[in-house]
A and B are shown apart, each in its own frame.
Chain A
Amino acid sequence: MVEAYKPNDLKEALELLAFNDCTIFAGGTDLMVKRKRWSGLVPSFEKPVMFISQLQELREVTEDNGMLTIGAACTLSELIDNELIPEHFKTVFRQMASPGIRNIATIGGNICNASPAGESLPLLYALDAEVVLQSSCRKVELPIAEFVQGVGKTLLKSGEMVTAIKVPKSSFTSITYRKVGTRKSTALSKLSFIGLAASDEEGLQDVRLAFGAVAPTVVRSRDAEEDIIDMLKLGSLDISQIIDDYSTLIKPISDQRSTALYRKKACIRLLVDFIINSLAREVVR
């Protein structure tokens, strides 16, 4: 048996964390599955467990000065129901797991699990989200692409916890999200793609493209995006150049869910479709 803590507020939680190396438990939908044992046996945790889903400070969504702050322990269902959350976030959340899991799984948990197939990640990468890390003595913000280091690896240190995710509010004129899963519900993704574009009367201003489950971490390249913006602005769209750029970044594997070839082809086809059918349209606007 391990010790379990259930702090009453964030301050208490951070103080406990300062002296105890804990496994932080929000919804538990990944932690419990990883520790699934012979039916009838209690899952065994290597470290003391700290439950955080009761911490009100971690369950709030606020908007301030164009910055959306999402409490790390907000469940996916809560976010789907929250008025401050933009529709394109909800599109992503609604396709995750099943209703039962969405009712307890949290956005912070999905980030900290750092799975290549973590479905909130392409969205958060594309939006330049920052992860708020807190310990009893400091509070730092890290870009999500920096926070997530690899498969199951993050920069979270002992004594720290993710308390919130901050997303700069921006508006997009084209939004495409595609999860390619193993079935239509309760599925992990074979791959996912998000494409965002913003344009105004002067033409295309921004493009964001991110791919999930096709490399150890989310694939996003600001350089490639800027090249695309330039190409479109100059009217010299070179699709094969774009495909080449992304082909070197997208390095999927074959596994029990899909094949490397399929993942790669599907990603490239989604990318090309987005460029031709969404970006090109943005340019003409």
Chain B
Amino acid sequence: MRDSISKPITRVDAADKLSGAACYIGDMRLEDMLYAKTLRAAEPRAKLISIEYPELPEGYFVVDKRDVPGENRVKMLIDDQPFFAEEVVNYIGEPIALIVGKDKEVINKLLEDIKVEYERLQPILCIDNITAPPIYGENDSFADYSLNKGDLQKARAGAAYVYEGIYETGYQEQFYMEPQGVIAEFKEGKVSIYGSIQCPYYVKNAVVSCLGSAPEDVRIVQAATGGAFGGKEDYPSLLAGQAACAAIKAGKPVCLLLDRNEDLEATTKRHPAKITLKSYIDESCRILGLEADIALDAGAYAGISGVVLQRAMFAAAGVYNIENLSIRGKAIATNKAVSGAFRGFGSPQAFFAIEMHMEHAAKAIGIDPLQYKLSNLVKQGDRSTTNGILRDKILLPEMVDRVLEMSGFTEKRKSFKTERAVGALKGIGLSMFFHGCGFTGNGEQDHIKAKVRLTKDIHDRVEILIANVEMGQGVQTTMRKIAAAAMELPIDSIIFANPDTDRVPDSGPTVASRTTVIVGKLVYDAALKLKEKWQAGAASEVEEQYKYPQGFEWDNDSFSGDAYTNYSWGVNAVEVELDPITYESTIKGVWTVFDIGNPIDDRLVRGQIDGGIVQGLGYASMEVMENLQGRFRQRTSTDYIIPTAMDIPEIKSELMCEPFKYGPYGAKGLGELTLVGAPIAYALAVENALSINIDTLPVRPEHLMEVAADGNGY
């Protein structure tokens, strides 16, 4: 069933990245380039009474709100976030000004000598029981949505069992290997931004609005990007606007590259969530209805929280066919760093809640959780949470069977029970999940309207012109493979350089597991077109624009219809053993089966799976980020703990393929899906090992010690 395109080739960027030749922002030295460092708020919520700057030596500049020629608001969904703070600051680390100059020592000294006077205001630091005046709007929410399907009253009336639970998940930092950074250059009336970014056109729109300049006077070029995971979706727009203002003021290129710990503390992270679920279940253990209340901690500014919330809401029912739904969602403003995009985008939180809920409900009723889940699975032709039709075959039952077999799940559940009786705390858990690929709702057809261009030169070389970026996931390789295969050309006759908005059309951002399935298909279609009009030795050009596939529909006001055109699916099992004295955990095994349609390159797919699983297991077990009085406690790379190779065993993974008709070679989305299921399987394994219920991520030994240790005083 797998296509020959799946056969792996050497990554085109491998040599440069291994040898160190790849040019990241930290490697770039433009002529006369200056450095910038950020003056950041030291209070979570305060009025700025005064700022006293020291006398500046020649060639040094302060750049702040007074230096923004256009709108001092980062252009995003809701334009509430200033490039530089104005009257108030809303989180510790919020940028107030840049100090710009040639010598970093001098800049450091100047920063130390700035005196900022604050008048403290009562901050909002949690999402429950808010008493302080709102940060945003009247009810302190950036988004407040509800979604209804069927008739929940009917479900209530017919329920034999009602089960309710509250599930909480914490922050997660993307921890890309390369911190955020941009360089801005101002030459002959035109600003060029070089940046470690995911979304060149988001950055362009933000800079155009910041400078109040014509679109043609702003150019964005992606530099080699050392990982992003969503962290470089929205935040680079802020940095680029700031650096652009600085370059204009200084008349020289300005490099604004964050340090690791600065990045850790000030940039976006995964939204903490609190999700309440109540399910109504009939005599035969069918779920009749589900009520969900989702609260996301959005931080100080809106960012992309509204869309994250939508994705969380649409995933609230998990992989289960529930006909009657009532889902409420809120993205709540708090005086903490802005929560933003991170691989999964709201769905890891929602899937954790529903998977744990299903397990706990089954235990409470007294039935086998796995059977309960399987008997309620969604299948082809069923309706999604938003009443869209699930058109493609859903392979979940086969995938579950395969994971059970690979992991020895059933036998282990039995034998571990015996072993636990003699003190060995072993457990195994299994999760089922999906990821809707591409933008949520009407994003692709109404907002992004992706466009791609292919050009052919007189030497018959074809260049792919798209705005999507290589950030480690392998897009430089997969896009070349797709184009080469479609045109039956050798791979090295295809050119794909890092995007420059002066050269590439807007094919949309590199987010939402959309690049292969949406943009890849456009590249494929364009390649076929180019092949059709191919004339050896003649230059030519073709363009393709996204067309919403026929038969799909979406109404954004009522959140009804096809929230996504295609879904990828996953089943994961994780085995753990806990130390009976300290409750430290050791992950003994990880088994996965994913349906991502037809894989474009088996090795790149494997890389995404391994990376997503490790990131998910970190989220589940050790990535603790607490906020005390507005300040993150784990704010250095020493204290924010991500897994090492020693923490993860070999990951055994297989694919099952249900191709997507509108994806290139039947491919579907992949990148985000791989993170969603492992945290759940991990938590379920710990539950199994200790015979307790887990409802909070991360699962810390500190928590287990409190709930599971013997009651005899130690």
Contact = CB atoms under 8 A, between A and B. Distances in A.
Interface stretch (B320-328, B405-413, B640-648): B640-648
A283 B285 CA distance: 57
A16 B639 CA distance: 37
B26 to A, nearest CB: 7
Nearest to A267: B714
A250 B701 CA distance: 19
User: What is the interface of chain A mostly: helix, strand, loop, or mixed?
Assistant: loop
Contact of A258 (B643, B702, B709): B702
Interface residues of B, number: 31
B702 A262 contact: yes
Given A38-B108, A262-B702, A266-B581, A272 B638 contact: no
A268 B626 CA distance: 26
Nearest to A258: B702
Contact of B639 (A98, A240, A256, A268): A256
B105 to A, nearest CB: 6
B582 A187 contact: no
B449 interface: no
B398 interface: no
B22 to A, nearest CB: 18
Contact of A186 (B26, B639, B644, B706): B644
B581 A188 contact: no
A183 B622 contact: yes
Given A38-B108, A40-B104, A269 B582 contact: yes
B705 A265 contact: yes
B702 A261 contact: yes
A224 B646 CA distance: 37
A132 to B, nearest CB: 31
B634 A256 contact: yes
Contacts of B20: none
Contacts, number: 73
A243 interface: yes
Contacts of B643: 183
Contacts of B639: 256-257
B11 interface: no
A247 B634 CA distance: 28
Contacts of A178: 581-582
A151 B117 CA distance: 33
Residue among B581, B646, B647 with the highest chain A CB neighbour number at 10 A? B581
Contact of A261 (B259, B586, B706): B706
Nearest to A33: B638
A258 B622 CA distance: 11
Interface in A182-229: 182-188
Interface string A244-271: 0000000000011111011001101110
A182 B108 CA distance: 33
A39 B622 contact: no
B452 to A, nearest CB: 37
Closest 10 CB pairs of A and B: A185-B646, A184-B646, A262-B702, A268-B714, A256-B639, A256-B633, A185-B644, A182-B641, A269-B581, A266-B582
Interface of B: 26, 35, 37, 104-105, 108, 257, 259, 581-582, 584, 586, 622, 626, 633-634, 638-639, 641, 643-647, 701-702, 705-706, 709, 713-714
Given A37-B108, A183-B644, A185-B647, 7 more contacts: A38-B259, A180-B701, A184-B646, A256-B639, A258-B702, A262-B702, A273-B581
Interface of A: 33, 37-41, 98, 178, 180, 182-188, 240, 243, 255-259, 261-262, 265-266, 268-270, 272-273
